[in-house]
Structure 1
Amino acid sequence: MHRTGRTLTISAALLAGLLLPAVASEAQAGWAHQRKITIDTTAAGANVSGDVKGFPVPVRLDASNFDFGQAKPDGADVRFDDAAGRPLPYEIEKWDAAAKQAAIWVRTDVKGNATRTITLKWGNPEASAESDGTRVFPKADGWITAHHLAEKGAANGYRDSAGNLDGKGVNITGDATGTGVVGNALSLTRARSEYVLLPGSETSGLFNPLPAKGTFSIWSNAKTHPAAYIAMFSKGESGFRIHYFGEGDQTEPCIDVANYDWCPLPSGAYTKVKNNTWYHFVFVIDKPNAYYYINGKLEVGKTDTNAWKTTGTEPVTIGNNEKTPGGNSRKRSFDGLLDEARILSVPKDKNWAKLDFESQKPGSKLLRHAK
């Protein structure tokens, strides 16, 4: 700052510094309540060693950590800020004030082997809803689809939080929901050949040709496993697949290379999948490499230098493997619960796979709410 005659000149940097406290104060104004939430990736928390940028952190609220009577009935006044007071994008998947339960996704950078805090704010009668899944799962980060599978019944459809391809229930009747790892989950009955179809995915440029890089993930909790190659998540036989290996208790990921299926399986010991138990599957392709993670741990990593391929005639399905949209010719429909079916156009690393599991699993230690 200096004087020039009668003119007082203030540098831009100094002016910004003078205004910041006022801006921060205004950002807090109007919210009657706030609380710090610690994101812990140390050994005492999620135990994730590397940094993960732009990660959708699930925040679960219930009667033990939140007074729903202090917020709007639909949670419209809930907000999140980072440690510097900057607003964070968020999406409300579930808000049930009567049951005192909520599930919210907050996009933020997560530091490996460290603790950081974000701030939860609520209690503002003037605030309007700002929940927006496309800002939590943005195209710029490589998101193709992100289905929470929380909707009740096929009539409502299954919203894609990334904003690309909403799902449609096939043969689904009634509520078709259950308790998921985060919020509600899709509940499928194999006897009725129920599954979710992504209409238009058979020819969509999002999947055709199969990208050289990508990440596919889903949570699975099978009630029964009565047939071979029952599928949790797939694009027919000509794209990606996560399914059971035959009639056994092993699962496998697959893609098409040249004139055959490439299904990288571990040699020797493998994870046995039990019924009535949640498992988290992440399949990463980074041509010519492929990696398969189960519950945050690398199951297998392999390389195939042949050409990769996919056709444009078979759809993406959640809970089945089908060549015709709406059909059930292969009879590989799932029986049980599925949650958080997601596809990215970028290959995620081991830190992402571990954090994805640790943040969502029942009994997660990633977050601590201040008293």
Structure 2
Amino acid sequence: MKIKRILTSTLFAAAVCLPTLAQAWWNADFKHRTKVVLNTTAQGVETKEALSGVVVPVRLHSGNFDFLGAKPDGADLRVVAADDKTPLKYWVERFDGANELAVVWVQLPNTLPGTDKNLVHVYAGNEAAAAEATSPAIFDGAMAAAITFAGKTGETADDVSAQVKSAGPVARENTGLIGVAAKLDGQPLTWTSDKLKAGGTGPYSVSLWFKPEAVTGTLFKQGPLSLALANGKATASLGAATAVGGELPTAAWAHLAVTVGNGKLTLYVNGAQAAQADVPATVAPIEGALSVGQGITGLVDQLEVAGTVRSADWVKFAHAAQSADAKLVLSTTQTPDTADADAGHGEKGHFAILVENLTTDAWVVIIILAIMFVIAVWVMYDKAVLVGRADKDNLKFLSNFRSAKDVLSVGTTDMKHSQLARLYNAGLRELNKRDVGKPGAAPLSGASLDAVKAAVDADLIRESHTLNSKIVLLTIAISGGPFLGLLGTVVGVMITFAAIAAAGDVNVNAIAPGIAAALLATVAGLAVAIPALFGYNYLAARIKNISSDMGIFVDEFITRVAENHGAR
């Protein structure tokens, strides 16, 4: 029994501790945390093999990172693995606190296939944190050169390890695909190093991003290996081997990769295999100067050369990660976590993200719509109860009325919700004024019957007004709700684009939260209008039926009065 009690106590303690472990916070001194998920399932960018040492750029913007809470230079940035314990190697290529944009390169030790659990945590918000000594040389050991083109116009474009240097200055474009890109003017950019070489049959891999202005020329060349463009179509060549495929439109970024190994020359375009050719048994070694952009104008970004054969999954994953593919790269919280919030709550849902990005004008519109919704629901409930009780009492009264032999002796007890009973009582009141049914009373003339009918018709109009009262509030909700929501959306989108114009950046990841939140106003307008529309149509049909029953009853009542008490 003692052992059993010990085991029970241990299991209970473990159960109590599990939520705490799940909500672990790497360091309480850092107040903000952003989670970035890399989804390798079929719903994201599916991969079939585990990848190790992949380096991906994590883009931070106002939608997923609190720049106001971080240091102006990003010195308090830290990147931690999915276990929220292991610090990862990273390098900050760009941190622009004023425009709220940053690019942080992170080395992923392992990326598992078929899961949405590949994630990293980006921490910030520690005023006491000193800048870490980070290096751009964070790529795997197979990387011979990784050139990000970070820097200023006129500087050389060396690889991140500083072992491969460019032969001359490079012109830059600050708004490249990832960060800074290089401008091509038809004259080739060249690099030389003993590291940049391989046998004629590999293994060797080259990849780069290209945004062409002209789609004819030699994009890449080193010894017998070349990647050329002819009328917008990519062609990889290695000696006599040629792989042709994949058209590139002008003024659009495209990812191109070439691998040599296992007897194959393989060309990839935008992460997918476009062509493959057999490599001859005898090919000159791939060595000598590496050149990019001979006879081509446009922009080039993220040139990578590896002394291995990158797999199809590697190329696919790198393409998706570097292009910020929305299916692969997901921010689980558009508004960053906080240490206090994480202690008591799990991840925020999409709806919470939208609410937290609402502008003031959208809040005003949504509050007005919320009031309209409450009023509409109250009207629909009130009228539904009214017509339900009215139908019940009307049926009961009609049964009594049609079974009574004397039109003047119909019982109306416990029928306070029956419009027909009230109309009957109104007619009975008029008949009592004329002593109808009393001994010696004269039969009703045609004029008297018309007077009685007019009095009952007047009460019928009043009953119709009572039935239709407040229904106008539903019509206001139906017609006004969507327009109010649209107003909130339009103003919210205007404010979002105005902020982007002021920042001078058109990153879709930065504007998406604002636009999505603005659209919430339209959703709120429709959420008010749609139930109100259904309720209005239902109630209108029920009220119309009751009104028809009242009209029929008045005619039936006057007819029976004339038959029993009218002049012959």
TM tier, shorter chain? Answer: 0.7 to 0.9
Amino acid at match of 1:361: S
- State how far apart, in whole Å, the 1-side matches of 2:308 and 2:315 are: 13
* 1:302 pairs with 2:274: no
Could you report, residue by residue, the CA deviation over 1:172-207 in whole angstroms, capped at 9, with x for unpaired residues? 55xx314222112112223xx3x4221x33xx2531
In structure 2, relative to structure 1, the CA distance for the partners of 1:75 and 1:280 (3 Å cut) is same
* 1:123 pairs with 2:125: yes
- State how far apart, in whole Å, the 2-side matches of 1:253 and 1:72 are: 46
- State how far apart, in whole Å, the 1-side matches of 2:286 and 2:56 are: 34
The 5 Å alignment of 1:1-371 reads 28-84=27-83, 85-108=85-108, 109-116=110-117, 117-124=119-126, 125-134=128-137, 136-138=138-140, 140=141, 142-154=142-154, 156-169=155-168, 172=170, 176-190=172-186, 193=187, 195-198=188-191, 200-201=192-193, 204-207=194-197, 209-210=199-200, 212-225=202-215, 230-235=217-222, 238-245=223-230, 248-256=231-239, 261-265=240-244, 270-310=245-285, 314-320=288-294, 332=295, 334-361=296-323, 363-371=325-333
How far does residue 31 in structure 1 lie from its aligned partner after superposition?
Answer: 1.7
Check whether the contact 1:212–1:285 (CA below 8 A) recurs between aligned residues: yes
> Alignment partner of 1:319: what SS?
strand
In structure 2, relative to structure 1, the CA distance for the partners of 1:145 and 1:34 (3 Å cut) is same
Check whether the contact 1:211–1:345 (CA below 8 A) recurs between aligned residues: no
TM-score, structure 2 normalization: 0.51
- State how far apart, in whole Å, the 2-side matches of 1:102 and 1:311 are: 36
Bigger mean CA deviation after superposition, 142-151 or 25-34: 25-34
Amino acid at match of 1:315: A
How far does residue 106 in structure 1 lie from its aligned partner after superposition?
Answer: 0.8
Amino acid at match of 2:268: Y
How far does residue 340 in structure 1 lie from its aligned partner after superposition?
Answer: 0.7
In structure 2, relative to structure 1, the CA distance for the partners of 1:152 and 1:168 (3 Å cut) is farther
Aligned-residue CA RMSD (Å): 2.5
In structure 2, relative to structure 1, the CA distance for the partners of 1:367 and 1:212 (3 Å cut) is same
In structure 2, relative to structure 1, the CA distance for the partners of 1:287 and 1:307 (3 Å cut) is farther
Check whether the contact 2:88–2:106 (CA below 8 A) recurs between aligned residues: yes
- State how far apart, in whole Å, the 1-side matches of 2:151 and 2:236 are: 27
> Alignment partner of 1:60: what SS?
strand
Higher strand share goes to which structure?
1
Amino acid at match of 1:277: A
- State how far apart, in whole Å, the 1-side matches of 2:67 and 2:331 are: 15
- State how far apart, in whole Å, the 2-side matches of 1:216 and 1:47 are: 22
- State how far apart, in whole Å, the 1-side matches of 2:312 and 2:265 are: 12
- State how far apart, in whole Å, the 2-side matches of 1:123 and 1:159 are: 32
How far does residue 215 in structure 1 lie from its aligned partner after superposition?
Answer: 1.0
Higher helix share goes to which structure?
2
How far does residue 74 in structure 1 lie from its aligned partner after superposition?
Answer: 2.1
> Alignment partner of 2:246: what SS?
coil
How far does residue 216 in structure 1 lie from its aligned partner after superposition?
Answer: 0.4
How far does residue 300 in structure 1 lie from its aligned partner after superposition?
Answer: 1.4
Structure 2 unaligned spans of 5+: 1-19, 334-568
> Alignment partner of 1:264: what SS?
strand
Check whether the contact 1:143–1:162 (CA below 8 A) recurs between aligned residues: no
- State how far apart, in whole Å, the 1-side matches of 2:247 and 2:68 are: 44
Superposed structure 1 runs of 4+ greater than 4 Å apart: 24-27, 208-211
In structure 2, relative to structure 1, the CA distance for the partners of 1:63 and 1:168 (3 Å cut) is farther
- State how far apart, in whole Å, the 1-side matches of 2:201 and 2:174 are: 33
In structure 2, relative to structure 1, the CA distance for the partners of 1:101 and 1:166 (3 Å cut) is farther
> Alignment partner of 1:212: what SS?
coil
How far does residue 30 in structure 1 lie from its aligned partner after superposition?
Answer: 2.7
Amino acid at match of 2:133: E
Structure with the greater relative contact order (CA < 8 A, sep ≥ 6): 1 or 2?
A: 1
How far does residue 362 in structure 1 lie from its aligned partner after superposition?
Answer: 5.2
In structure 2, relative to structure 1, the CA distance for the partners of 1:363 and 1:352 (3 Å cut) is closer
> Alignment partner of 2:267: what SS?
strand
Structure 1 unaligned spans of 5+: 1-20, 321-331
How far does residue 27 in structure 1 lie from its aligned partner after superposition?
Answer: 5.2
> Alignment partner of 2:247: what SS?
coil
How far does residue 210 in structure 1 lie from its aligned partner after superposition?
Answer: 5.0
- State how far apart, in whole Å, the 2-side matches of 1:310 and 1:50 are: 30
Percent identical? 22
- State how far apart, in whole Å, the 1-side matches of 2:195 and 2:320 are: 32
> Alignment partner of 1:358: what SS?
helix
- State how far apart, in whole Å, the 2-side matches of 1:208 and 1:360 are: 26
- State how far apart, in whole Å, the 1-side matches of 2:122 and 2:286 are: 46
TM-score, structure 1 normalization: 0.76
- State how far apart, in whole Å, the 2-side matches of 1:82 and 1:362 are: 19
Check whether the contact 2:32–2:66 (CA below 8 A) recurs between aligned residues: no
In structure 2, relative to structure 1, the CA distance for the partners of 1:250 and 1:130 (3 Å cut) is same
